[in-house]
Structure 1
Amino acid sequence: MTHTARRMFELLEPICLVTYFADECNQELAALGHRTYWDGYFASRAAPLGRVPAEVVHAAFYSFAEGEAARHIPSAWETIPPEASVAARERGSAASLRRILGAEAAGSPGVARAADLTTKAATSASTAGRFMYAGMRGLPVPEDPVARLWHSATMLREHRADGHIAALLGARIGGTEAHVLSALDMGIHPPESFGRIQHLPKDRLAAVMDGLRERGLVDAEGRFTDAGRATKRRIEALTDELAAPPYEALPPEELDELVAQLEPLTETLVAAGSQ
């Protein structure tokens, strides 16, 4: 099932990415009063966990720099209830999907069937040890097919992310280190320039890179060594293995049907950059 998990990740990820790359979600969150993109991001993604402190959000999100969650949590919830942020994220994401896919495709029986099958998979797995996935499972599943497809794809994304954290922990890769390795895997150099870890003090970033060098995962120039690439491959392989259980709920014929329904949708979203 690990091959299935990887294929489903490839097909479902573009559905989830509209939340972060398309305009509608950001506009919905801004309309609530979230001042910045990152206020909306942290507030809406963490909201299914409830009003937990920044330390819990940092642990659940894992790869953000120390102190980054505290820049947004709990202040992002002081005047905007978490439930409102969750609803705005769903509305905006579904609106993005409808716009990118077009009215005919978004209203098609294929989208409805893809939503049904994705939901069947997304609601079938154990929540044990899966904090973000468990939070998403606690939310009501939307009735609208487009919103339901996004919601269930996001559930599966969080299920996978929880497993990815377990794989990183097993490899003794910390959150900031994981961010660096992901940057290198995407061809970004210097990796310290990627994403939100650049807010860390320079001495802290230098210590992270020195630790990766001491372990032989990056070289003197801050690029992957062979051992670093092998470590990253092992983590991804275990992530696929841990992401497989939801798809065991679908018999082979339903898996094949889901792939067939998702492929043209994903092709359209990828062509648009999920924007």
Structure 2
Amino acid sequence: MPHSQPVARRLFDLTEPISLVNFFAPEPHESMVRLGFLNYWDGYFAGRAAPLGVAPAEVVHAAFYNFADGEVARHIPKVWEVTTPEAAHAARQRGCVTALRRILGGLVETPELARVADLLTKASISAPTAGRVMYAGLRSLPMPEEPVARLWHAANMLREHRGDGHIVALASERIGGTEAHVLSALDSGIHPAESFGRIHHLPASRLAEVMSGLRDRGLIDASGHFTEAGRATKARIESLTDALAEAPYEELEPSEIDELIFLLEPISGRLQATGSQ
């Protein structure tokens, strides 16, 4: 059947709630605590950066893109004094699978979920890795056999594949990491953008510098709202992100895309209803 929006955008909307258990559900954090990480951000950086191996902070900062200068270095490489990348990834996976099992309940043991895991796996291992640092790191890890773990790992790969492309789209518009958060906040209706949770903790001088730069480029107005040029820039970034995220789904037949969307909807709906937590 015809799709009213790009396939990659529709599948992102449906798979993102699966990936968000990484960040919102308590089980992944508890799993990282058992490794010895006593604060959320140590566990976050260890778990997400694990596929890159023992990479220096500069590399992780570049791959993650949207953290302010110095934020990554507060956690990398010190987290590797506590555990190994292999153990961190395994702990993150265990926690996320436990969370998914709790939230999805009776959906877990259904053939429909197993089929979704198979289709997402087919898509997630099919895209080129060139220029996709985070995606390539996850592709280097073994694909789990158990359906819920496979569902999580495939969704995570697709999310990082999209994220790698999103960085390309941001860079093409000369939008840095903190600036990207400002545009995202405004696009979500958050004003002032400086109050957005991902950046509100940054020094006021740094936020003022970012906002001043966006004003000088004509992307926001004096009141801190989007200008027409700013909205157009954000739209181009999202459009290119969608286009660059299509590759994994090109491996699926049109009938498989329709099937995947149909079977994902109740899974995604259950997760959305709980906020993936």
The TM tier, using the shorter chain, reads over 0.9
Match of 2:265 in 1: 263
The structural deviation recorded for 1:190 is 2.0
SS at match of 1:195: coil
SS at match of 2:76: coil
Match of 2:42 in 1: 39
* Residues 149-198 of structure 1: per-residue CA shift (max 9 Å, x gap): 01000000000000000000101111111111111112222222323433
The structural deviation recorded for 1:204 is 1.9
Give the whole-Å Cα distance in 2 for the aligned partners of 1:7 and 1:109: 22
Give the whole-Å Cα distance in 1 for the aligned partners of 2:118 and 2:265: 16
Match of 1:63 in 2: 66
SS at match of 2:208: helix
Give the whole-Å Cα distance in 2 for the aligned partners of 1:6 and 1:100: 24
Give the whole-Å Cα distance in 2 for the aligned partners of 1:196 and 1:3: 28
Q: 1:216 aligns with which of 218, 233, 245?
A: 218
What are structure 2's unaligned runs of at least 5 residues?
none
Match of 1:177 in 2: 179
Give the whole-Å Cα distance in 2 for the aligned partners of 1:113 and 1:139: 21
Asked if residue 93 in structure 1 is aligned to residue 96 in structure 2, the reply is: yes
TM-score (norm 1): 0.97
Q: Please tell me whether the aligned partners of residues 14 and 265 of structure 2 are also in contact (alpha carbons under 8 angstroms).
A: yes
What's the Cα RMSD here?
1.2
Q: 1:109 aligns with which of 111, 114, 118?
A: 111
Asked if residue 17 in structure 1 is aligned to residue 14 in structure 2, the reply is: no
Amino acid paired to 2:176: G
Amino acid paired to 2:18: I
* Residues 219-262 of structure 1: per-residue CA shift (max 9 Å, x gap): 11212112111110110000000000100000111111111110
Give the whole-Å Cα distance in 2 for the aligned partners of 1:85 and 1:133: 17
Asked if residue 30 in structure 1 is aligned to residue 33 in structure 2, the reply is: yes
Asked if residue 78 in structure 1 is aligned to residue 84 in structure 2, the reply is: no
Amino acid paired to 1:217: L
Match of 2:7 in 1: 4
SS at match of 1:187: coil
Match of 1:272 in 2: 274
Q: Please tell me whether the aligned partners of residues 66 and 200 of structure 1 are also in contact (alpha carbons under 8 angstroms).
A: no
Q: Please tell me whether the aligned partners of residues 123 and 252 of structure 2 are also in contact (alpha carbons under 8 angstroms).
A: yes
TM-score (norm 2): 0.96
The alignment-based identity, stated in percent, is 66
Q: 2:120 aligns with which of 103, 118, 121?
A: 118
Give the whole-Å Cα distance in 1 for the aligned partners of 2:193 and 2:81: 34
Q: Please tell me whether the aligned partners of residues 48 and 136 of structure 1 are also in contact (alpha carbons under 8 angstroms).
A: yes
Match of 2:155 in 1: 153
Asked if residue 249 in structure 1 is aligned to residue 256 in structure 2, the reply is: no
Give the whole-Å Cα distance in 1 for the aligned partners of 2:60 and 2:182: 20
Give the whole-Å Cα distance in 2 for the aligned partners of 1:76 and 1:190: 34
The structural deviation recorded for 1:138 is 0.5
Q: Please tell me whether the aligned partners of residues 181 and 198 of structure 2 are also in contact (alpha carbons under 8 angstroms).
A: no
Give aligned pairs, total. Answer: 274
SS at match of 1:141: coil
Give the whole-Å Cα distance in 1 for the aligned partners of 2:111 and 2:12: 22
Give the whole-Å Cα distance in 2 for the aligned partners of 1:106 and 1:96: 11
SS at match of 1:197: coil
Match of 2:141 in 1: 139
SS at match of 1:26: helix
Give the whole-Å Cα distance in 1 for the aligned partners of 2:183 and 2:145: 39
SS at match of 1:269: helix
SS at match of 1:91: helix
Asked if residue 188 in structure 1 is aligned to residue 203 in structure 2, the reply is: no
Give the whole-Å Cα distance in 2 for the aligned partners of 1:41 and 1:177: 22
Give the whole-Å Cα distance in 2 for the aligned partners of 1:254 and 1:209: 44
Amino acid paired to 1:29: M
What are structure 1's unaligned runs of at least 5 residues?
none
The structural deviation recorded for 1:202 is 2.1
